[in-house]
Each structure stands twice: as structure tokens, then as C-alpha cells.
Structure 1
Amino acid sequence: MDTFATAPMWAGFLLLVLGTLFVDIFVLGGRHAHRVSTREALGWTLTWMTLAALFGVALWWVVANDAGHDAAYRKVLEFYTGYLIELSLSIDNMFVFAMIFSYFAVPPELQRRVLLLGVLGAILMRAAMILMGVWLISQFAWILYVFGVFLVITGIKMLFMSRHPSDLGRNPIVRFLCTHMRITSDYHGEHFFVRIGGLRYATPMFVVVLLVEATDLVFAVDSIPAIFAVTTDPFIVFTSNIFAIMGLRALYFLLANLAAHFHYLKYGLAVVLAFIGAKMLAEPWFHVPVHWSLGAVAMTLFIAVLLSQARTRRAAAAGDQPGPGGTPRGREAGNRRT
């Protein structure tokens, strides 16, 4: 599939990602398990958002020199829209990660390493899925309508299933591992496997990393088709995805404890998915400009956050602080007493 990106542009972006990971892991102490402070999480969140913004500026400059200002404007809008869509859909991962860490009681100092491994796996998985998606679209143009139907159905399902949290104890991966492997009850640092009494045991760390990777794979099935509604340029699709994934790890530590304050965000994401799917289906009869898509996605997320904050303030005024699932703590306590 056609792309404006040259081989040096691909190489430069990959070097940027690898260089940032190298600095994170080998220069700033990423190799050592430690609790991520709010200050560190905020610093990395702003770093990745700034890099994404600067990347858009550099993209405009390169495309403008080669193809003119109109083409540059279109490509930059596609990148920023794709980045916002991928970042917003990836935020849903954050709440699932929080649930996984809570269920398996992952020590705070190990969570950073789990997410780092999750990011590395996500980059490889998404690269493969993007290549597959690009190939499918180049061979079968009608596959875009399949993506559109899938996104509309997924958005509708999210609207009606958002109130039902998953039971990790019944997760197929957890059940399979618990049935077929010896798993220790305690963590052994960052080790995936240990020997006890001459027998090899997996640690909860191994199970958690597998669940994190599986979670990202599931969410990628939703998010990657969504960006094809904005652009089919492989370079834009890949770069916007990677920037969103890299920034999500830091964003998790910044916002994970505030999940209860974003009760309606999941509904907003459902609307975004349904809107993008409808846009893909309506394309032959009605073209939605990229800047309209960007505005619609941003406005939907903004309204979802505003409604969530209003709900939190009402709960606080009534003396009921929302619990992790958005249920007032006071009401939960009352139910337990009865």
C-alpha cells in the first residue's frame, strides 16, 4: 500500500523508539524494580505527549517540502487524529491492567517491569497486525466495510456490557495455567520461574505478563481497525499506534488510582468506536473530513470526562466516595453489613 514515508523515515522513527527505550531502561534505572512516583509518571507522560506533538511538526515539515502544504496538513491531521483515537482506546487497557494488578496483588515495584515487557510485546504484535491489515486492505478493499461493521457492533456491546466487570478467576488463560502448571503463591522478584524442592514452578509474575500481553492483543483487535477509518497509510498507522502505546505505560501510573473518577469514559469510548465504524460504512456516500473526525472524538471524550467528574462530585456531596468499580463505598459497606 502506498505511503509517503521513505526508508530513512522508517529507520529514523524506529531509532527514536529504541533510543527512548534505551534511555528509560539503561540510563534512568528501568532495569531495577522500583515504585513509580507520580512525579516520574507525570514526567514520562509529558515526554511522550511532547514527542508526539513534535513528531507531528516534523512530519508537516517533511511532507510540505516534498508534496506541498495541503498534503502536509492532511497527513498531520491524520497522525494527530490517529494518535488521539489510539491513545483514548488504549486508556481502556489501563483499567484492565489495574484490575489484573489488584487481583494478583502485584507489588508496586514490579508493576513497571510488567508494563515494560507488555509494551515490547505490544510493539511486535501491533506491527504484525498492522502489516496484516494493510495487506488485507490492498487485496480486498471491501474489508474496510467488515471493519466498520465490527467496530459498530463492538461499540454497541461496550455500551451494554460496561457495567459488568470481568472475573479473572474464570479467565481461560488463568484457568489453563492453574490446571497445567505449578505456580507459586508468592512473587520471587522479577523471576518467571523458580526451582523449589527440585521442581520447576512458574511465578505469578509469569501469569500476569501473559495476561497483560493477551489484554493488549484483544484491545488491538478493536483499535487497529479504527485507525484505518482515518488513514490507510502504514507509516501513519504504525507511528500513531506506537506513540499511544509508549505513552500508556506512564499514563497508567499517573491515572490508575483515579479510575473511579472516569466512570463514563468507557461509554465515551464505545461511542467513539461506533462513530468510527459508522464513518467507514458511510464513506461511499458521505465523506467525513479528518478534522471533523478529530473534533468528534475529542468532544466525545471531553463530555465523557465532564460527566464522570460531575458524578464524582455528586457522590462526594452525598458522602459516598466511588469505589474502584464506580460503586459508592458507603453503599458497598451497607450491602456487606446486611
Structure 2
Amino acid sequence: MLEVTALGWTLTIGVIVALLALDLTLGVLRPHAVGFREAAAWSTFYIAVAIAFGVVFGMVSGWDFGAQYFAGYIVEKSLSVDNLFVFVIIMTTFAVPEKYQQEVLTFGIIIALVLRVIFIALGATLLSLFSFMFLLFGLLLIFTAVQLFRHRDEDPDIEDNALVKAGRRFLPMTDDYVGGKMITKIDGRRMFTPLFLVLIAIGSSDILFALDSIPAVFGVTDEAYIVFIANAFALLGLRALFFLVKGLLDRLVYLSTGLAIILAFIGAKLVLHWAHKDISNSVPEVSTGISLVVIVVVLVVTTVASLMKVRKDPDAKAHAGSVRASSSTPVVSDDQAQPR
């Protein structure tokens, strides 16, 4: 079992908070349209920090735990790309101006990180108290994988979001973004801007992603510390990654299929782990090494197959996938999108 001292937790949280403050400064205090070169530089920085942390962590704690960290980080990073699909859909649906997209993404990442801390604490507690939670988590991931595969050619329908519907119905809303503010005053009346609804949409979608990603990473490791740092480092680079790959996301036509396979694999691993612990020691378990190889191979094959498909069929478009059938397609063209 991994032993992490109070000092270790303090230093780790300090690093995460410092990087988060840096992201907040870049995204909120200095709003601007992010170019490819800037996005590439910051994406490289965050990935390098995550790798460096993993190397140091592996040297200090042992490479068994180091392998668990890298496996968890790769799982969360690949799932975060699916987050980006939904972020693109939300930004397009609400016609968010480019100079305010950084602010939205930064607050979205903060919300996601807070939600994941809550789910990690809850998940770790449940797993330590009830071993059958491994079975429930495994079945949840398998169900999600099946649904994601069934609806792999669809996108989540933001218009069906209950919180967004309630916001539009009950809150006084402006038509414009009013300088990137979420709340403003017009003729002495306090009103909400479309940016507030965007954050509601992103925050509620973060809850759904947390419900999938936390059980998924617990399928790689049952160490709460590793689950936390894998999630944190995967999320911290999301703002820069959004601007780096948003023009390339349409090309990853098989990403949803690949993620469905990964979730199903991890779900099966959790079920086997439960059976090994509660039924019989003769039930085989899947090692971290095998998990890491399977995840990497699926992602590589998915990416290569996607690029080959788009090369043969330039009209092929990727979709985020959905866990349920969408009643309508929320994506609209730039000239049709209007702020609400």
C-alpha cells in the first residue's frame, strides 16, 4: 500500500494549486484569442510537468506505483479529449467569442477538479468499506461503454440539459456577453449573461464525466493519491489542449469507439478484481502493465485508423459520443450560432 505523508500531500497540493493559479491568470486576467504556437507551448509544458512528476514519483515510491500513475494519467488524458468535444459543442452552441473561451475553460477545469476531489474521496471510502463496489464500478463502466458505442456517432444535446433549461426560463438574461461578465446590471436591474449559462452547461457535463472517469482510474489503481494526481495533471493541461486540438477533433472519427473499448476493458478488470477478492483467488486479475499496454495500443490504433478514414473520406466527421440517444443535434454552424 502506498504511504503518503502529510508533507507529501501538502507539496503535491501546493504544486497543483500553483499550476491552477497560473492557468487562472492566463485564462481570466488576460483574456485573448489563443494562437496555435501559444497553445502548443503550454500543452508541451503541462505534459512535461506531468511526466516529470511521474518520473520523480516512480523513483521515490517504486515503479509499480509509477506505472499505475502513468496508466491512470493516460486514461484520464484520453477521456479528457472527449471532454474537449463537449466543450467545443458548448462553445459553438452559445457562440462564445474566442477572447472569452479561456475564461470559460479555466473555470470549467476548476469545477471539474473540485468535483473529482469529491468523487475520489467518496469512491476511495466506498471501496475501502465495501469490496462489492469494485463490481458496481465495473458494471457501471461496462454499461457506459456499451451506451457510448451504441451512440458513438452522436453528440450530447446541450439543449436537453435541465439546468440550462431552468436558467433560460427563470433567470433574467442578456443577449450579449457584456465584456465577459457572468452577472451585470442593466438599467439598475441585475441580469445574467450567456457566459453564466455556458458555465452551467460545462459544470453539469463535468459531473457526468466524473462519474465515468473516477471509476475508470480506480480500475487502474486503488490508491487515492494516484487517482488524484492522475486526474489533476490530466485536467490542468486541458485549457491549452483545447486550443491546440479543437481544429483537429473532427478528424478523430473513431475516438468514441476507442474510449468505449477502454472503458469496457477497465470495467471487466474491476469485475475480475472483485471476483478475485470475494469469490476465489483462482480468478485471474489484469496487471497494471497489461492495462497500460492495452490502453496505449487502443489509443494508437484509434488515432491511426481515424486519420486513415479521414484521408479516404474527407467528409467524415468525429462525434463526442453520448450515453443516450440525442433528441436533436446541438452543433450549429458559426453563422447560425447566436448568443442567447
Provide TM-score, normalisation by structure 2: 0.88
- Determine the C-alpha separation between the residues in 2 that align with 1:19 and 1:194: 30
Deviation by residue 1:243-282 (Cα, 9 ceiling, x = unmatched) = 0011122111111121210010111001100000011112
Give the aligned partner of residue 251 of structure 1. Answer: 241
**Count of matched residue pairs:** 312
For the 8 Å contact 1:3–1:234, the answer to whether it is kept is no
1:1-338 aligned within 5 A: 3-26=2-25, 30-63=28-61, 72-283=62-273, 284=276, 285-316=283-314, 321-322=315-316
Provide TM-score, normalisation by structure 1: 0.89
SS at match of 1:200: strand
For the aligned residue pairs, the C-alpha RMSD in angstroms reads 1.6
- Determine the C-alpha separation between the residues in 1 that align with 2:44 and 2:123: 30
Q: Percent of aligned pairs with the same residue?
A: 34
Q: Give, as a single letter, the amino acid of the residue that structure 1 aligns with 2:309.
A: R
| Structure with the larger helix share | 1
For the 8 Å contact 1:144–1:280, the answer to whether it is kept is yes
- Determine the C-alpha separation between the residues in 2 that align with 1:154 and 1:51: 31
> Structure 1's 289 and 90: CA in aligned 2 closer, same or farther, altered over 3 A?
same
SS at match of 1:257: coil
Q: Which has the higher contact order (CA 8 A, sep 6+)?
A: 2
Q: Give, as a single letter, the amino acid of the residue that structure 2 aligns with 1:313.
A: R
Q: Give, as a single letter, the amino acid of the residue that structure 2 aligns with 1:201.
A: M
Q: CA deviation at 1:21?
A: 2.8
Q: Give, as a single letter, the amino acid of the residue that structure 2 aligns with 1:19.
A: A
Deviation by residue 1:113-143 (Cα, 9 ceiling, x = unmatched) = 1111111112211111100001101111110
Q: CA deviation at 1:323?
A: 5.0
SS at match of 2:34: coil
Q: CA deviation at 1:30?
A: 4.8
- Determine the C-alpha separation between the residues in 2 that align with 1:303 and 1:231: 24
Give the aligned partner of residue 331 of structure 2. Answer: none
- Determine the C-alpha separation between the residues in 2 that align with 1:24 and 1:9: 23
> Structure 1's 23 and 271: CA in aligned 2 closer, same or farther, altered over 3 A?
same
> Structure 1's 253 and 286: CA in aligned 2 closer, same or farther, altered over 3 A?
same
For the 8 Å contact 2:149–2:260, the answer to whether it is kept is yes
- Determine the C-alpha separation between the residues in 1 that align with 2:288 and 2:156: 35
Give the aligned partner of residue 335 of structure 1. Answer: none
Deviation by residue 1:68-122 (Cα, 9 ceiling, x = unmatched) = xxxx110000000000011111111100000000000000110001111111112
- Determine the C-alpha separation between the residues in 1 that align with 2:54 and 2:47: 11
